[in-house]
């Protein structure tokens, strides 16, 4: 019987999809996230109307298109936010995932590429931890806040 168990173990080991390191990385990486982009953001000098001309809406459209064209499209929900209250620091984005750190960035302008790279780093992180040196250069000094995991989750329902 021990011989059969050893044979079965060898068979399972040889047909497994990944190494223990792969499985550990999968268990610590963030499976998906939500990226909110403020669609009403505009510099003070920009007119309020037409809304279609606001830099925030243009950034949302560019980020959404970039995510859709990337390998991240199944893992990232890009949502418009009517206002993130970052008026002095347009354009704003917020990045979050259940059980992980959440982030708020300002001064993003037309920075779709770096936002996508930051999302990629976030998804590959442990618990949403985004050290300054791992974020794209344009997103290092423009972080406006981060929120610990689990805030607002009733006891016993979060991580």
Contact 68, 127 (CB under 8 A): no
Q: Is the pLDDT of residue 145 over 90?
A: yes
Position 39 pLDDT exceeds 60? yes
Mean pLDDT for 121-134 is 95
* Ordered domains of the chain (ranges, CATH): 31-147 (3.40.30.10)
**In 3D, which of 49, 145, 51, 30 has the Cα closest to residue 92?**
145
Summarised one tens digit per residue, pLDDT across range 56-115 is 999 999 999 999 999 999 999 999 999 999 999 999 999 999 999 999 999 998 889 999
Cis amide leading into 91 (omega within 30): yes
Confidence of residue 124 (pLDDT cuts 50, 70, 90): very high
Enter the tokens of residue 92. 């704003």
Tokens 């009733």 -> residue = 154
Q: What is the pLDDT of residue 155?
A: 63
From residue 28, alpha-carbon distances to 31, 60, 100, 106, 131 in Å are 9, 29, 11, 28, 16
Closest residue by Cα to residue 99 from 119, 73, 126? 126
13: confidence class by pLDDT, cuts 50, 70, 90: very low
Alpha-carbon torsion (19, 23, 25, 26), positive or negative: positive
């Amino acid at each position: 019987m021990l011989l059969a168990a050893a044979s079965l173990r060898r068979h399972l080991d040889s047909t497994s999809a990944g190494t223990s390191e792969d499985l550990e990385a999968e268990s610590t990486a963030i499976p998906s996230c939500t990226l909110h982009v403020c669609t009403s953001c505009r510099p003070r000098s920009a007119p309020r109307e037409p809304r279609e001309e606001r830099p925030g809406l243009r950034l949302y459209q560019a980020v959404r298109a970039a995510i859709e064209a990337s390998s991240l499209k199944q893992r990232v929900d890009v949502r418009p936010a009517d206002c993130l209250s970052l008026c002095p620091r347009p354009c704003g984005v917020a990045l979050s995932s259940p059980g992980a750190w959440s982030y708020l960035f300002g001064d993003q302008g037309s920075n779709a590429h770096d936002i996508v790279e930051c999302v990629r780093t976030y998804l590959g992180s442990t618990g949403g931890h985004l050290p300054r040196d791992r974020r794209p250069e344009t997103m290092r000094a423009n972080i406006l806040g981060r929120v610990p995991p689990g805030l607002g989750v009733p006891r016993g329902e979060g991580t």
